Amino acid sequence: MPGFAFFRALYPSSRLVLGLAGPLGLYYASRLQKIYADSTSTAHRHHQNSETRREDYSGMHPANGVRRVDWISWPSTFPSEDVISTRYEHDKSWSFWAIYDGNVGPQTAWHLDQHLLHNLVGSLSEIYAAAGGSQPEKDVVHDAFKRVFLALDDEIVYQSAQRIREKSWANPKVGVRAEANEVLGAAYTGSSALVAFYDADVRTLHVSGVGRGRVLLGRRRKAQQSVDIVHGSSEDVERTLYEVHDLSPKHKPSDPAEVARLTAEHPNETLFTGEPAKYLDWGVTRSFGNGVMKWTRDMQDFLWEKCLGETLRPNMLTPPYFTAAPDTQTIQVESGDFLVLASEGTRYKHITKEVMVGLVGAWLDRSEYSRSSFKCTELPVELTKKNDWWYTNEDSNAAYHLGRNALGGADLDAFTAQLDMPMSRSRWLRQDLSVIVVFFE
């Protein structure tokens, strides 16, 4: 049992038995290895609740150019479909942070955790070497992201299915159902991906995304802001505000560019229905995995007949309908900037992108925002929408601070109830929630 063997090697005096075998055991063994590596450094604090499987982490100066990194992962299901992944290439002053937000199951997110950043570092190393000591052009870096994303998705979805079919053709009398269950695990499930790559030597941040989730950069500036005073009147005062730079992927059925792209690729088909719009009953237009949205009709017929696959959906006329091609953006980092990566579990009406940046700004300026509760209009950010939610600022971990305000804010009872609810019920109330907050030097 690989997971158990690893755990006993790591903690030989422990009486705890990790009773997980196969891919699940291997995956959690690798997570334990990462947790152990973090916890052995005095500059890092990692906490994992064994009952709820919630994780929170704070690390000071993990890499060149990075002042601090906080993150949380709060499952609503077991196994969690969210995965947080980090990597630091200290000899190159490179830092990577990623959130994989799975759907239909966690296997695709697990596969990305094991391979995506590794493959990306290899590709980037090649293009940096080819640049001969100079910085590669932005478009070259973007192309590297796209190649790595598409190649890994091709391996997950198409190559795995083809291997199973070729084995079945080679010996038709031998069943391949059991092998298909293992080989196609990451192909049947799916995942979004948010990946940030920071080159500290030139203070350049590249962000690449597929599917859903948020990536926001906050930047401090001085500005005049209207502040409410007594009797409903207001006055303009100079305050520290935070700019919001939205680097999130826009892979939703409501995005005009995605609608135009998909309508051109699949003319004369009914792709978008409902309000808010769904794309063939999905709330996302791109993802890793999700082979049922990518395999040819012929391949899906084979998987249905020989491998206990899913029934071909009647609206699957001209697949593929999903792609793992990312949108990649680049921005120069200034001193004091911070970055937020957040899974879809943080998406509430009271947690807009402006509020999210404003909350981190309030966390940084805790001496000014030390009250037990305050409204969104008091946040150090310009708002496009206002709400009646009450927020709070009481956590030492910036990611925990965002998670608390997403689930309950100043209402401790609501926050505790949602966080501690048994997973058999919480999965119907909220999604897995993961947040990374990076503070740059």
pLDDT tens figures, 76-116: 999 999 999 999 999 999 999 999 999 999 999 999 999 99
Per-residue pLDDT, 334: 98
Comparing CA positions, the residue from 351, 367, 354 lying closest to residue 404 is 351
Per-residue pLDDT, 27: 53
Comparing CA positions, the residue from 247, 162, 208, 216 lying closest to residue 325 is 208
Q: Between the CA of residue 214 and those of 150, 159, 207, 232, 346, what are the distances in Å?
A: 21, 30, 11, 35, 9
CB 295 within 8 A of CB 303: yes
With cut-offs at 50, 70 and 90, classify the pLDDT of residue 52: low
The burial of 152, by beta-carbon neighbours within 10 Å (0-12 exposed, 13-18 middle, 19 or more buried), is given as buried
Please say if the pLDDT value at position 117 is more than 70: yes
| 134 membership: H or E segment, kind and range | none
Complete domains list, the chain, with CATH: 1-40 (no CATH), 41-166+178-251+324-440 (3.60.40.10), 252-285 (no CATH)
Per-residue pLDDT, 33: 47
Mean pLDDT of 154-176: 95
Per-residue pLDDT, 225: 64
Mean pLDDT of 389-394: 96
pLDDT tens by residue, 8-39: 333 333 333 334 445 555 554 555 445 444 43
Per-residue pLDDT, 12: 34
CB 84 within 8 A of CB 73: yes
Rg (CA), the chain: 23
Provide CB contacts within 8 A for 110, sequence distance 6+.
23, 27, 83, 186
Per-residue pLDDT, 228: 64
Please say if the pLDDT value at position 7 is more than 50: no
Per-residue pLDDT, 2: 39
Q: Mean pLDDT over all residues of the chain?
A: 89
SS3 82: strand
SS3 65: coil
In this predicted structure, which of 51-60, 148-157, 240-249 has the lowest mean pLDDT?
51-60
Mean pLDDT of 352-359: 98
Kindly report whether the peptide bond that precedes residue 136 is cis, defined as omega within 30 degrees of 0. Answer: no
Sign of CA dihedral 186, 187, 190, 192: positive
Please say if the pLDDT value at position 372 is more than 60: yes
pLDDT tens by residue, 191-248: 999 999 999 999 999 999 999 999 999 999 987 766 666 666 677 777 899 999 999 9
Higher pLDDT, 121 or 233: 121
Higher pLDDT, 146 or 235: 146
pLDDT tens by residue, 297-339: 999 999 999 999 998 889 999 999 999 999 999 999 999 999 9
CB 241 within 8 A of CB 354: no
Task: Calculate what percentage of the chain has a pLDDT beyond 90.
Answer: 77
Mean pLDDT of 277-291: 97
Comparing CA positions, the residue from 183, 132, 135 lying closest to residue 162 is 183
- Per DSSP, 319 falls in state -
With cut-offs at 50, 70 and 90, classify the pLDDT of residue 284: very high
Mean pLDDT of 169-184: 94
Mean pLDDT of 272-278: 94
Task: Calculate what percentage of the chain has a pLDDT beyond 70.
Answer: 86
Please say if the pLDDT value at position 5 is more than 50: no
Residue type, 329: Q
CB 95 within 8 A of CB 197: yes
Per-residue pLDDT, 17: 35
In this predicted structure, which of 246-260, 263-277, 322-336, 367-381 has the lowest mean pLDDT?
367-381
